[in-house]
Amino acid sequence: MNDIFWSYWNHNRKRGIIACTENELIYVGSSNETYNAFHEWAVRSKYKNIIQKDSKLKLYKEQLSEYFDGERTKFTTNLGIYGTSFEVEVWKTLLTITYGTTLSYKSVSEILGKPKAYRAVASAIAKNPLLIFIPCHRVVTQSGASTGYRGGVDFKLDLLELERSNSFEGAIND
């Protein structure tokens, strides 16, 4: 892992950093995150060259815009999912949560076969580097409350509302 390419994604009043390697998306941030936070993550993740290059992120930004416009319910990009084995297991489980629906932290831990590990699940979800693409915003408390989100609770609520209100006609599902 040497080079990563980054850019800003923009949609209406929302903006964040997005980054990829030569062939996979590895980071999606939100409006409340700074370049410094992204840079620290990249250094911790052992990337040596952090290069701003908009053209490398074109496909990922297009799919993100389609999502925000209600035209896409599933992403078709290669994701670089790196973390501890438990984090990766949690993040891959999140990929199975259907667009427009939510699961509780407890339900995710039960799917993993670790019903008492819901706090560890919440901790892994908080470290998800691929906001939106790995839909951690679809995980809520058992009572249905939206708490904690790396992108901010308001952003999480916006994403959930977008998905709830989206008409699926014409949406890209593959």
| Catalytic residue set | 136
Residue 16 half-sphere exposure toward CB, CA atoms < 13 A = 24
Q: What is residue 28's three-state secondary structure?
A: strand
Euclidean distance between CA atoms 12 and 103, whole angstroms: 28
Q: Estimate to the nearest angstrom the gap between the alpha carbon of 74 and the chain centroid.
A: 12
How many other CB atoms are there within 10 angstroms of residue 78's CB atom?
14
Closest C-alpha among 102, 7, 93 to residue 50: 7
